[in-house]
Chains A and B, each alone.
Chain A
């Protein structure tokens, strides 16, 4: 291609995506309420979408450049802009045709700093969109996640079971205490409010449920139910169907990190050979991360360590 000096108006990013539904799924998983402002950050590595709520929870969706069929990035620095998450998802969703694989082109910025979308696979039926962007609000970056000690405190649990457990904890509500203990290796979710409910995941009792567990000392933190729920409320059905695990890690100060993996592979209808081989390109995964701050209270009483 010609250099940027010859084409000064070349947009920061032109990329093509052939699995719109995968991207819709990935972005929907961080949509936990009606009106959410999101910040998009573009870089040579891909697109990151960040949402934040009440200074207590932050979620990020990483769409690596490998997810895209083509990814032509020409910006200097990392352009950032704000969009309404709901509108962004609804807009993308109109490009997803059930039963067809549809390829779209995403371009930024348009003449008026818009985010531009258009379908590219059929010349005689074209879908297009122009979405206004905002100057992003400053994101509080104090979600820096640091390990709590030399051994990471983490566990991987079947996503469906995690969602089910968190849904069940709705009735005691209010705040949920998560406890990890090494002996016997066990993760406990405990809700106290209108009543008590405790859900234990025993590591050795059911390896299929709790797939991995790492903990060298007892640790316990409380989290607001509504933020904990946000981490699984919109988890895509494809994640449940693929029987994936979600990884939870507790970092310094009790910061909880929840990670999901969402497949953005091409639809198996079009590429049966990929599916029949049971092979999925590992790069075609969108990473979802939630960071939930613990409730502030006298930690010493809860924390045994």
Chain B
């Protein structure tokens, strides 16, 4: 089992400034799954509860000179502490930025190693970062779990395949920051959040307790996937009755999720996505959030990076 690659400047920047801060909010420990073509950070895919998040990078997005080999179709997976990984990356960046004279040799190598930790007889696996400066080299070892067994990797892969199902209808959130600020305030009002998405492009969030029901409805959002024409009677209704009618017509779905999970999924804005879409999986299995990234300077989706979250549904709803 071998893995060795060089992180590109762009890769370091993506991870250090954007993805690791966001992923760390989803949970400190995650799986890092490396295949021939992809590096994937996975949260909560093997244990059921909690927000699942999947950040997938094509190898070129992060690395050059990417070499991987294993008995298991060149696939390696292990768990890693994101805070430690972030710290190692950050200090590597600060080292290389102080040795600016040596731009060519200045590459950050990352590899899988086994080492004997101090005061131990057992060699332990590490993800090792090596930054070579002009006169010195700094090596940082981030402890990782034992690589997953063949069976566990298979399970991870099938969980990953299952998580690729797209909802029929996705609506684009107009302003992620505004939504986050609203949800931050809404958290004080209740713990459970009802979310409805219609095929007319409406997104309706609602907290309902014995004392209060409070909600926000966004209308005429951009739709991906199945859409329907807005019924003419829709205009002068309250948000609640509009949603109810759309559900009765089979043109909307509604689920209940934990407010904590929803707020957590919004932390993905730290990865600076260019747009975000919400959708409800068939049979109300989960609430899916898909973040898209544009190729810098364009409005074209960068297919080499993908990030999406799946929020467990508390009540199957309608």
Q: Mark B202-219, 1 if CB is under 8 A from A, else 0.
A: 000000001111111111
Whether B181 contacts A97 by the Cβ 8 Å rule is yes
Q: Mark A38-79, 1 if CB is under 8 A from B, else 0.
A: 000000000000000000000000000000000000000000
On chain B, the residues within 8 Å of A113 by CB distance are none
Q: Are A126 and B181 also in contact (CB < 8 A) when A87-B189, A91-B212, A91-B214 are?
A: no
Most buried by A among B210, B212, B215: B212
On chain B, the residues within 8 Å of A94 by CB distance are 182, 185-186, 189, 214, 216
Is B115 among interface residues, defined by CB-CB distance under 8 A?
A: no
Number of interface residues of B (CB under 8 A): 21
Within 8 A of B (CB), among A257-271: none
Within 8 A of A (CB), among B107-145: none
Q: Mark B196-232, 1 if CB is under 8 A from A, else 0.
A: 0000000000000011111111111000000000000
Q: Mark A128-155, 1 if CB is under 8 A from B, else 0.
A: 1111100000000000000000000000
Is B174 among interface residues, defined by CB-CB distance under 8 A?
A: yes
Q: Are A125 and B218 also in contact (CB < 8 A) when A91-B212, A131-B211, A132-B211 are?
A: yes
CA distance A128 to B210 in the complex (A): 16
CA distance A90 to B215 in the complex (A): 13
On chain A, the residues within 8 Å of B174 by CB distance are 125
On chain B, the residues within 8 Å of A124 by CB distance are 218-220
Is B47 among interface residues, defined by CB-CB distance under 8 A?
A: no
Is A93 among interface residues, defined by CB-CB distance under 8 A?
A: yes
Most buried by A among B182, B185, B188: B185
Q: Within the complex, what minimum Cβ distance (angstroms) separates A129 from chain B? A: 4
Is B238 among interface residues, defined by CB-CB distance under 8 A?
A: yes
Q: Within the complex, what minimum Cβ distance (angstroms) separates A118 from chain B? A: 9
On chain B, the residues within 8 Å of A93 by CB distance are 185, 188
CA distance A30 to B288 in the complex (A): 41
Whether A129 contacts B215 by the Cβ 8 Å rule is yes
Is B239 among interface residues, defined by CB-CB distance under 8 A?
A: yes
CA distance A244 to B214 in the complex (A): 35
Q: Are A125 and B214 also in contact (CB < 8 A) when A87-B189, A94-B185, A97-B178 are?
A: no
On chain A, the residues within 8 Å of B216 by CB distance are 94, 125-128
On chain A, the residues within 8 Å of B181 by CB distance are 97-98
CA distance A126 to B216 in the complex (A): 6
Whether A132 contacts B188 by the Cβ 8 Å rule is no
Whether B210 contacts A132 by the Cβ 8 Å rule is yes
Is A182 among interface residues, defined by CB-CB distance under 8 A?
A: no
CA distance A90 to B186 in the complex (A): 8
On chain A, the residues within 8 Å of B186 by CB distance are 94
Closest to B238 in A: A128
Whether A127 contacts B189 by the Cβ 8 Å rule is no
Q: Are A129 and B217 also in contact (CB < 8 A) when A87-B189, A94-B186, A94-B189 are?
A: no
Q: Within the complex, what minimum Cβ distance (angstroms) separates B195 from chain A? A: 15
Is A84 among interface residues, defined by CB-CB distance under 8 A?
A: yes
Q: Are A90 and B185 also in contact (CB < 8 A) when A125-B174, A127-B216, A128-B238 are?
A: yes
Closest to A133 in B: B211
On chain B, the residues within 8 Å of A128 by CB distance are 214-217, 238-239
Whether B182 contacts A131 by the Cβ 8 Å rule is no
CA distance A93 to B181 in the complex (A): 11
Whether A130 contacts B188 by the Cβ 8 Å rule is no
Within 8 A of B (CB), among A93-117: 93-94, 96-98
CA distance A124 to B220 in the complex (A): 7
Whether B217 contacts A125 by the Cβ 8 Å rule is yes
On chain B, the residues within 8 Å of A126 by CB distance are 216-217, 219, 239
CA distance A132 to B211 in the complex (A): 5
Whether A132 contacts B212 by the Cβ 8 Å rule is yes
Within 8 A of A (CB), among B145-196: 174, 178, 181-182, 185-186, 188-189
CA distance A132 to B189 in the complex (A): 13
On chain A, the residues within 8 Å of B239 by CB distance are 126, 128
Q: Are A91 and B189 also in contact (CB < 8 A) when A125-B217, A127-B216, A129-B214 are?
A: yes
Whether B218 contacts A90 by the Cβ 8 Å rule is no
Closest to A90 in B: B188
On chain B, the residues within 8 Å of A96 by CB distance are 185
On chain B, the residues within 8 Å of A90 by CB distance are 185, 188-189
CA distance A31 to B285 in the complex (A): 41
On chain A, the residues within 8 Å of B212 by CB distance are 87, 91, 129-132
Most buried by A among B174, B186, B216: B216
Q: Within the complex, what minimum Cβ distance (angstroms) separates A288 from chain B? A: 22
Q: Within the complex, what minimum Cβ distance (angstroms) separates B206 from chain A? A: 9
Whether B213 contacts A87 by the Cβ 8 Å rule is no
Closest to B220 in A: A124
Whether B211 contacts A129 by the Cβ 8 Å rule is no
Closest to B204 in A: A126
Whether B188 contacts A125 by the Cβ 8 Å rule is no
CA distance A131 to B218 in the complex (A): 21
Q: Within the complex, what minimum Cβ distance (angstroms) separates B293 from chain A? A: 25
Whether A87 contacts B219 by the Cβ 8 Å rule is no
On chain A, the residues within 8 Å of B238 by CB distance are 128
CA distance A32 to B220 in the complex (A): 42
Chain B residues in contact with chain A, CB under 8 A?
174, 178, 181-182, 185-186, 188-189, 210-220, 238-239
Closest 7 A-B residue pairs measured CB to CB? A129-B214, A90-B188, A94-B185, A127-B216, A124-B219, A131-B212, A125-B218
12 contacts between A and B (CB under 8 A): A90-B188, A91-B214, A97-B178, A97-B181, A123-B219, A125-B218, A125-B219, A127-B182, A128-B238, A130-B212, A131-B212, A132-B212
9 further A-B pairs in the complex, CB-CB below 8 A; given A123-B219, A127-B216: A90-B188, A91-B214, A94-B214, A124-B219, A125-B174, A126-B217, A127-B214, A128-B215, A132-B211
